[in-house]
Amino acid sequence: MVTAEQANAEINRLASSVSSRQEADGAWRFCLDAGPLTNSFFIIALRALEMEEERLIGQLADAIRARQEPGGAWKLYHDEPEGNISATVQSYCALLLSGKHKADEPHMAAAKRFIDAQGGTARTDLITKVILAMIGQYRWRNHFMVPIELLLLPPEAPVSFYDFAGYARVHIAPVLLAADRRFISGLPVFQTLPFAGGTAPLEGEQTAGGSPPPELEPQLTEAQRSIKELAAKLIGLPEKLHERARAAGVRFILERLEPNGTLYGYTTSTLLMVFALLAVGYDKRDPVIVRAVAGLKTLMCKLDGHSYLQNFTSTVWDTALLTHALQQARMAEEAVIGKAGRYLLSRQQTAYGDWRIHNPRVAPGGWGFSDVNTINPDVDDTTAVLRAIRRLRKADAKYSHAWGRGLNWVLSMQNADGGWPAFEKNTDNKLLTLLPIENVRAAGIDPSTADLTGRTLEFLGSDAGLTAKLPAVERAVRWLMNHQDEDGSWIGRWGICRIYGTWAALTGLMAVGCPPGHTAVRRAVRWLENVQNTDGGWGESCASDVAGIYVPLGYSTPSQTAWATEALLAAERRPTAAAQRGVRFLLEAGHWQTGDWRLRYPTGAGLPGSMYMAYHSYNIIWPLLALSRYREAAK
């Protein structure tokens, strides 16, 4: 049996290593790695803007090249078969445009062979097709012909732009603007790319600086036609709709810029915004565009000596989780926690954001994921911060006030079905799935999920002292019970995937008083025990995210092992044999070499099949919490 003293030694090591990394403002800043997409698209955008950024472009290209597989492709995760067609197209285009790599070099020729063998650009994901269309390498009329009039439909309409989740809207609005103009950034440099067979636009496509296209009326689906007709009925004459919709799209974007000039703090939406503004006539040196590029540069980080553009920073999330983990481990110095608390307090959002549309009768009080977020709070970050500042309330009334506002906001965000979303309440309109938008169900809506509902319950039970006797808690428990799969697992949305969802649901249920002998608890425990690896750990492939079923990784990772171990300890309330094997694995993994790919495996989920996140904080946070729980159980 692993002793409490052995667990404590590893807790001490982890706590010491992370405490020394705290920055002067109290935050922890870890690089959040989401693959080659952001570096690639930044190079494309810088070329479209004709900015003299050769040193930066070279650094971005070097980081992309370092990730290329021996066979020529790029992967999103280690066990992805052969490679990822979208990541490879993105990377190949960016390397060619960087000027540092030529098409006839062996590694570039290998990449092109992979792309051709996989079916070419037609097999890429939606955001890749959109970027390629903007530079003349894909035909606009092939994809994303959603009427721009969607922007004008009010929230109370049967289908509205505001039925999309907030993170989807800030990506869709720029695409609608560019797609409506069939915009192509017609620079000669883009003609060097091989995919479109030249950049001469189709009828109705507009190159940069050209005149607006004639209003085309392609073959519309029933859903598209209904949007146009509804917009005309609610708003006015059809000939005025396009002009008003374009103006609404630009206004929507400009009203959601963060102080650093980025759109919602996301790299992808910001780069799409740049092209959208070019499409509607903005100059390449317009202050909005210049500020956006400068803001993106602040999201750069260093990883393995290479420069990566993060899609967003995880500073608030990492700082909140680490502050909580250090307190749970009872290893934090007062000065460390005090500095972290002051930083977190400064990031509470006091402005109303789009979340107010579906939740109008509550004051702001949430926290966002990134240190640049001011109008985009989410439930998971808010509960994470509230956990972190709970013990600080007694010493300072400011924390008590922030706690009250945050708790009130979290409770108000509960969906009508009893679960919790990530960003916005009741944004689960199934009619959106009728729109011709690829992957709209996964990327477009923000429904209740097992991970958000379970983690919120865990906070309410463990930190806010609430139990299933409270109606809101009882409804959430019922939602989780109704959404457990037959095998005993739950699927998570923002982590990989069934291990993540089952951990969140199980720890949440136990925190609000669910009895250990409950059928749902026993089924979940059996599932976790059945998928435990022979080395004592747990590991799930990112392929689960697309398949919708559990796909074993074949290896164990520290974060997924910590989730499973903590879930078993919560459910069993004692160090079972399975939990002890998990702890033993965590002790061994703490001494892996830095370059081990298992330490970098992405266990954070973004968009199924398109984006996964490797949180470099996770190998500290989750083992620290699991080992702390084990230490208490083993005494």
Query: How far is the first Cα of the chain from the last one, in angstroms, to the nearest whole number?
Result: 12
Which pairs with CB-CB distance under 8 Å and at least 24 residues apart come from 499-502? Answer: 499/528, 499/531, 499/538, 499/540, 499/560, 499/563, 499/564, 500/451, 500/540, 500/560, 500/563, 500/603, 500/605, 501/449, 501/450, 501/451, 501/454, 502/450, 502/527, 502/528, 502/564, 502/567
Check 380, 381, 428, 485 and give the catalytic one. 380
AA letter at 166? G
Question: And the tokens for 245?
Answer: 């919709």
* CA-based torsion, 228, 231, 237, 242: positive or negative: negative
Nearest CA to 144 out of 163, 131, 153, 157 is that of: 131
How far apart CA 326 and CA 416 sit, in angstroms, is: 35
3-state secondary structure 390-446: HHHCCCCHHHHHHHHHHHHHHHHCCCCCCCCCCCCCCECCHHHHHCCCCCHHHHHCE
| Helical packing angle, 577-589 and 558-572, nearest 10° | 150
How far apart CA 635 and CA 27 sit, in angstroms, is: 33
**Type and span of the H or E element at 509:** helix 498-511
How far apart CA 585 and CA 532 sit, in angstroms, is: 11
The overall longest dimension of the chain from CA atoms, in Å, is 76
How far apart CA 95 and CA 97 sit, in angstroms, is: 5
Measured at the CA of 416, the angle between CA 414 and CA 419, to 5 degrees, comes to 50
Measured at the CA of 189, the angle between CA 188 and CA 191, to 5 degrees, comes to 65
Active site residue 428: no
Q: State the CB neighbour count (10 A cutoff) for residue 416.
A: 10
- 187 phi-psi bin (left φ>0, alpha ψ -120 to 50, beta other): beta
Catalytic residue annotation: 380
